[in-house]
Structures are given as structure tokens and as C-alpha cells.
């Protein structure tokens, strides 16, 4: 069974631009969540989608948004990029609805110049 697939693996953008990251969950998993990982803050929860609905959102500005499609694939968008958005963005999928194990993708390393 294929794991969680994230694309692209690396991105370099400049301040003010926007970016879209993609995540394909493990087949059969309906929950997709996104995390930002930085050396100083560790993993921080961005948002979670289940059956195309955003169920939970972390404490991030509105520039961070996402969506989930009917095939459970998810995208995350960051608009008006700031230097502080440079981070590893990890997508994780889960099978069940609540407090389930997370299976992480390889992540997208975003650098904002």
C-alpha cells in the first residue's frame, strides 16, 4: 500500500508570493491534517480535513488555507508569503475519525527568500 505522498519536495519562493502544496493520503484514509515544523517551534497543527470538511484549525493566520477533494487528496495554500513561513510542511493521514494514528508524508520544504 502506498504511503502518504506530498509534492513538491522542495520549494523556493520570494516574499509576497503564494504557494500550493499537495498531499495524497494512504488509500482508504479519509482524514488529512497538516503540520508546520520549524527548529524552534517543533510541529504545530495547521488544520485537519475529514470527508472534504475542515474540522479543526490551529492558531495560524488566515493566509494559511486548505481544502480536501472527494478522493481525499488535500491541498494547502499559503498566500502573501513571509520569511517566517519557511518551514517543513508535513501532511499526515489517518484512517478513523478521532484520535487516530498519524501517517506522515515526506514533507515539503518551503524556503521563502
Partner 1 sequence: QKEVEQNSGPLSVPEGAIASLNCTYSDRGSQSFFWYRQYSGKSPELIMFIYSNGDKEDGRFTAQLNKASQYVSLLIRDSQPSDSATYLCAVNIGNTGNQFYFGTGTSLTVIP
Contact positions vs partner 1 (CB under 8 A) = 31, 33, 35, 41-45, 48, 50, 55-56, 58, 90, 92, 94, 96-107
Minimum gap (Å) between residue 110 Cβ and partner 1: 15
**Does the bond joining 73 to the residue before it have cis omega, within 30 degrees of 0?**
no
b/e burial code for range 96-108 (CB count within 10 A of at least 16 → b) = eeeeeeeebbebb
Nearer to partner 1, 40 or 62 (CB): 40
Nearer to partner 1, 17 or 44 (CB): 44
Minimum gap (Å) between residue 15 Cβ and partner 1: 26
Three-state DSSP at 84 gives: helix
Nearer to partner 1, 79 or 106 (CB): 106
Minimum gap (Å) between residue 72 Cβ and partner 1: 13
d(CA 88, CA 27): 23
Three-state DSSP at 17 gives: coil
Amino acid at each position: 500500500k502506498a504511503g502518504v505522498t506530498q509534492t513538491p519536495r522542495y520549494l523556493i519562493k520570494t516574499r509576497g508570493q503564494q504557494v500550493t502544496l499537495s498531499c495524497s493520503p494512504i488509500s482508504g484514509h479519509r482524514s488529512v491534517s497538516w503540520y508546520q515544523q520549524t527548529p524552534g517551534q517543533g510541529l504545530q497543527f495547521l488544520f485537519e480535513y475529514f470527508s472534504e470538511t475542515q474540522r479543526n484549525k490551529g492558531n495560524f493566520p488566515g493566509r494559511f488555507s486548505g481544502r480536501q477533494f472527494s478522493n481525499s487528496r488535500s491541498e494547502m495554500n499559503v498566500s502573501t508569503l513571509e520569511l517566517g513561513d519557511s518551514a517543513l510542511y508535513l501532511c499526515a493521514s489517518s484512517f478513523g475519525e478521532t484520535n487516530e494514528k498519524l501517517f506522515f508524508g515526506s514533507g515539503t520544504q518551503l524556503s521563502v527568500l
